[in-house]
Each structure stands twice: as C-alpha cells, then as structure tokens.
Structure 1
C-alpha cells in the first residue's frame, strides 16, 4: 500500500477536468452520499431541538439546553462506537441499519406526538430523538465522510472530497433554511 502511495505521489496532480471525466461516477456517489446525509435531517434535529422542548413542551430554557447537551453526548459516544465497528461490517449494511433505526424512531415519534398529550409525549420524545441520534451517529454521520475519502483515486482524492464536502454544506444550508417552513 505504501508503494502504491509513493507511485501515485510521483504522478502529476489532476484537476477538475479529469475529475468529471474518468472519476465522474465517484463524484456522483460522493455528492449523493453527502446530500443524503443532510436530507435525513440530522442538523435540523440538532439545531432546533432546544426550541422543540421550550416551545413545544414548555420546558425552561436551561432544561432544554441540558437535554441538547445530553443528546450531544449520545452523538459523541455513538460516533466513538461507530469508529470501533465501521471496519467490521459492510458500509452498505451500516448505512441501511442506520436508516432503519432513524426511520423507525422518527415514525414512532410522529405517531406519539399525534396520539399523546404534550406532557405525555415529552419523555418518549427525548428517548426517540436519542435513538434517532444513535442511528445517525453509528452510520450516516461518520460513514459518509469515510466513504468519500475511499471512493476517489489517490491522485484526485483531495479535489473529489472537497466537492463532496461542499455538497454536504450546501445541503445543510438548504435543509436548515427550509426545515421550519416545511
């Protein structure tokens, strides 16, 4: 592997033209992964979580912030867990697992918030959001960033991952701007 890296490092660097010719499938996959990573709604949950508990459930601001801190701790711990399991399972399997966990938790959350009173839904909402964060943090969160580094050949990896990263932040902007309107 080291010999391959040395061989590639002696090759001339390539630019955007080469990226969109022979590496086009990798570019499409990188953009798609990073768009989907944001479209699952993770940043909307993280950005607006305190407001949900303040305005939706009537929590005091300090308590709502501590709930957000707790969710951040869950996110961190599950990302560490992902680091330990990401090479033991197929990337696709991990992404599918995370998608199922997130879908089920948000689906149950939707049903509960239409069938329970506000006071009854507060604690289950915290638990289901933590499960949603778990699903994201062990799958879509770290795996997409790992995959965009893996799918590009070494001589165009920097440019390719930059495009994937830009797609992520553009999607983040779009989702965060339209989430409240939706």
Structure 2
C-alpha cells in the first residue's frame, strides 16, 4: 500500500495538467492569454473540489470517493483523447468550440482528482498502517510520490511526442487499474481507529489470509 497508493496517484496524469497545462491549451488552439487563464481556472476548480472532498469524506467514505473520482477521471480522459485524436491529428488544429469542450472536460478531470486521489492519496496511507510501522510507511509513501512525480515530469514530453493524443488513453488505462485496485484490495477506513485496523483488513478476503497467519504466529509466540 505504501508503494501502490502514491504510484497510482502520480500515474493519474494530474502532473501533466499541473506542469504543462499552458502548453496543452495552446496546442488545442487557445491563445497564450487564454491558455494561462485556463490554467488558473483549472487550479480554482481543483481547490474547490478538494474542499468538497473534506466535507464528504467522512460521510461517503474513502472507497466511494476513490471509485467515483476514478470513473470521472477515466471518462473525461477518454473523451479528451477522442476529441484530440479526431480533430487535432498530427499537425492539425481544433476548432474554437472543441477547444472549450476540452477545457471543460479537463476541469471535470481535475475536479475528479481533487476530491479523490489528490487528498485521499495522503489521507488513507496515514490511516491504514499500525502504529508500530506508521512512520516507516509514511516515509515510503512520500519517497515514492516524489520519485514518480519526477519520473512523470521528465518523461511526459517524450511520451507526448510518441503517443500524441493517445497519452490520455494511456493515463486513462492506469485510472481503470487503480480504481479496480481500490475496489478489490483497499479497505474502508471511515470511522475506524488505528488500533482496530487489523479488523478492517480481515474484511477483505485477499488480506484476511495474511492477517490470519500473523495472528496465529503471534498466538504461538505468546504461548
């Protein structure tokens, strides 16, 4: 979990928008001033969505926000990729109307990230580790997050040149994988004290066998 959660958080493609939004918006036909303004708008949308996540996270639960946000990001990325593949091509341009549609879809994508994987990618790891290994687990989370932030930032332009509009399908595919990961393997930590996290892990069949083995080993050692 300490490796998978921050890895998935970075391969959503959010850093592509954060680092290269002005370049992306200029590519689809917006002027320089409009591109910068669009970047500001996406930032405001992201901030507002994070605030919404703070209000909903203890009501809906972590898993629900992860899954809803994943579906929202996937659909918006696929639609952006489809529009750019059909309208932009290798050297073409996108009409004004399509440019604003892409802008709206990217804002929807940023909103989906900002109320799911953005804040929860840091919140959930702080809740799932037992107290004995919590500091070590969080250290791994931060290190993996920074490592893949660097890797994505350094490789994106080369990937964009090779994949072109397919870059959105690439990151969309990772969103499918991470959403399935949450659905099948991540326990719900809502209203669960850290001291009782072992009970939460037992509720998921895949992890139950490992937790059960550790419990049996502990009983043997105590005896």
> Do these two structures clear the TM 0.5 threshold for a shared fold by scoring above it?
yes
1:31-68 CA distances to partner (integer Å, 9 max, x unpaired)? Answer: 100000000110111111101122441412x3211111
Structure 1 consecutive aligned stretches of length 4 or more whose deviation exceeds 4 Å: none
Partners of 1:163 and 1:110 lie apart in 2 by 33
1:181 corresponds in structure 2 to: 158
Structure 2 residue 11 is matched with structure 1 residue 35: no
5 Å-filtered alignment, 1:5-20, equals none
- Higher RCO by CA contacts (8 Å cutoff, separation 6 or greater): 1
1:163 corresponds in structure 2 to: 140
2:130 corresponds in structure 1 to: 153
1:84 corresponds in structure 2 to: 55
Tell me which moved more, 103-112 or 157-166.
Answer: 157-166
RMSD: 1.4
- Superposition TM-score, scaled by structure 1 size: 0.79
1:4-41 CA distances to partner (integer Å, 9 max, x unpaired)? Answer: xxxxxxxxxxxxxxxxxxxxxxxxx0210000000011
1:67–1:76: structure 2 CA closer, same or farther, 3 Å change rule?
same
Displacement after TM superposition at 1:93 (Å) = 2.0
SS of the counterpart of 2:85? Answer: helix
Partners of 1:67 and 1:76 lie apart in 2 by 14
Structure 2 gap ranges (5+): 88-92, 160-223
Partners of 2:83 and 2:142 lie apart in 1 by 35
Partners of 2:6 and 2:122 lie apart in 1 by 8
Q: Which of 23, 34, 47 is the aligned partner of 1:51?
A: 23
2:41 corresponds in structure 1 to: 70
- Superposition TM-score, scaled by structure 2 size: 0.65
Displacement after TM superposition at 1:159 (Å) = 2.4
Structure 1 gap ranges (5+): 1-28
The number of equivalent residue pairs is: 153
SS of the counterpart of 2:157? Answer: coil
